[in-house]
Amino acid sequence: MDALLQHLVNGLVLGGTYALLGIGLTLIFGLMNLVNFAHGELYTLGAYATFAALALGGLNFFAAVALAIALGAVVGAACERLLLRPLRGESIDTTMLVMIGLWIALQNGELLAWGGVAKSIPHPFPTAPLTLGPVGIAPLRLFVMATALVLIVAAWLLIQRTRLGRAMRATFQDRETAALMGVRIDRIHTATFAFGSALAAAAGALLGPIFLAYPSMGDLASLKAFSVVILGGLGNLPGATLGGLLLGIAEELGAGYVSSGYRDAVGFVIIILVLLFRPSGLFTRAERIG
């Protein structure tokens, strides 16, 4: 029983981080119809930015994380403006391909800049785990979960309560009409990509101290993010959140009780099964944003 509880707690923490990865991508994928292979690279960028800010810039931890998130937004906006906007009318395969190129370039650029050795990112939290009964959880992880939750709620509020969010939702549902209503589609695209990238960078900044920063860290993150997006339904923020938690717990239980070698297979099999029976994702009936 103790083991089960620990597995569940592990799964929740892991799932929270998957959710953070997923919500950024679900916005981009849902609104821009873009298979964003470079999403994982923004995650990596967030981690390295935090490292750089701490090690080279001497900032404190929280400022470094904030800086990393801001940098993610800026880089995301730049990518959209320079690479995606000129290719706006092209097919989904073309934009996907440019993202693949960006992925390869960014990852190898990072390898060149920082070397292949993983970087440890220092953090101010004590390392001794907090114990809640039979279950242990590190303070850093608790912080990560809390921050992730805050960011998710903030994202939700932005989408639901602000003008920008409304414009984004409108563009998602009917681009032409939104444009006719005066929504600047160009700006919405840039804003969406910047926002999604900022969230990915946030995930990297938060997870970097837990997991170390190295150039290929984004690959697995990308894959998990895609899984979460599909599980939750395209453009569905609460769906992505729940989907992330579900995936984390399922992986944890699968690795704990079935076989650790097949751990990732659990995630894949769940996805296949879910899509067989609920093709639009677990939590949607129709595709929507927000």
Partner 1 sequence: MLKRWSWMLLVSLSVGALVAPAGFAQAPIRIGVIEPLSGPVAASGNYVRMGAEIARDWINARGGVSGRKVELVIEDNKSDPKEAASAAEKLIVRDKVPAIMGAWGSSMTLAAMPKLEEYGVPMVVETSSASTITKRGNPWIFRISPPSEMEALGLEQYLDKLAVKRADFLAVNTDWGRGAVTAFGDMLKKKGAAVGAAEFMDQKDTDMNAQITKIKGGGGDTLFLTTAVEQITLVLKQSQEQRLTRKIITTGGSSSPSQLIKQAGPAAEGSYHIVFFMPWFPEAMPDGKLAKAFVDEWTKRGHPFEGLTEGFRGHDGIATIAEAVKIAGKDEPKAIQAALWKVSFTGVNGPIKFEKDGPAGKESGQSKPSIFVVQIKDGKVALPDFLAKK
Partner 2 sequence: MRRTLGALVGVALLALPLWLTSAYHLHVAIMAGIFTILALSLNLLLGYTGQLSLGHAAFFGIGAYTSALLALRLEWPFWLGLPAAAVAAGLAGWAIGRLALKVRGAYFVLVTISFAGVIALVSVNWMELTNGPLGLPGVPAPSLAGVSFRTKTAYYYLVLVGAAGAYLLCRRLVRSRVGRAFLALRENEPLAESVGIDPTRTLVLAAVVSAALAGVAGSLYAHYTRFVSPEVFLFNYTVTMVIMVVAGGKGTLAGPVVGALVFTVLPEALREAVAWQWQMLAYGVLLVLLVFFLPRGIVGGGVAVGTRDEGPPRGLPAEGPAQQRRADGSPGPALQVENLSADFGGVAALADVSFTVRPGTITSLIGPNGAGKTTAFNAITGFLRPRRGRVTFGDASLLGRRACDIAARGVVRTFQKTSVFPALTVADNVMVGLHLAGSAGFAAIVASRPRVWAEESRLRAEAADIVEFVGLQHRRAVTAGSLPYGEQRLVELAVALAARPRLLLLDEPGAGMTGAEKERLVELIRRLREQGLTVLLVEHDMRLVMGISDTVIVLNHGRVIAEGPPATMQAHPDVIRAYLGGRRA
Residues forming the site for partner 1 (CB under 8 A): 3, 6-7, 10, 14, 108, 111, 115-118, 120, 127, 129, 136-138, 141, 210-212, 214-217, 219-220, 251-256, 260-261, 263-264
Contacts with partner 2 in 69-128 (CB under 8 A)?
83, 86-87, 90, 92-94, 96-98, 100-109, 111-112
The two structure tokens encoding residue 165: 């969010």
Task: Check binding of 5 to partner 2 (CB under 8 A).
Answer: no
User: With contacts defined by CB under 8 A, how many residues of the chain interact with partner 2?
Assistant: 46
Residue 106 neighbours by CB under 8 Å, 6+ apart:
38, 41, 44, 45
Two tokens at 218? 């984004």
Closest Cα partner for 122 from 47, 226, 209, 200?
209
For the bound state, the minimum distance from the C-beta of residue 168 to partner 1, rounded and expressed in Å, comes to 32
Binding segment for partner 2 (CB under 8 A), chosen from 5-13, 14-22, 56-64, 278-286, is: 278-286
The one of partner 2, partner 1, none whose footprint includes residue 215, by CB under 5 to 8 A per kind, is partner 1
Residue 238 binds which entry of partner 1, partner 2, none, CB below 5-8 Å type-dependent: none
Residue tagged 């904030």 (tokens)? 66
Q: Which of 234, 247, 249, 250 binds partner 2 (CB under 8 A)?
A: 234
Q: How far is the CB of 139 from partner 1 (least distance, A)?
A: 10
CB of 24 to partner 1, least distance (A): 19
Residues forming the site for partner 2 (CB under 8 A): 29, 35, 83, 86-87, 90, 92-94, 96-98, 100-109, 111-112, 219, 223, 226-227, 229-230, 234, 259, 261-262, 264-265, 267-269, 271-272, 275-276, 279-281
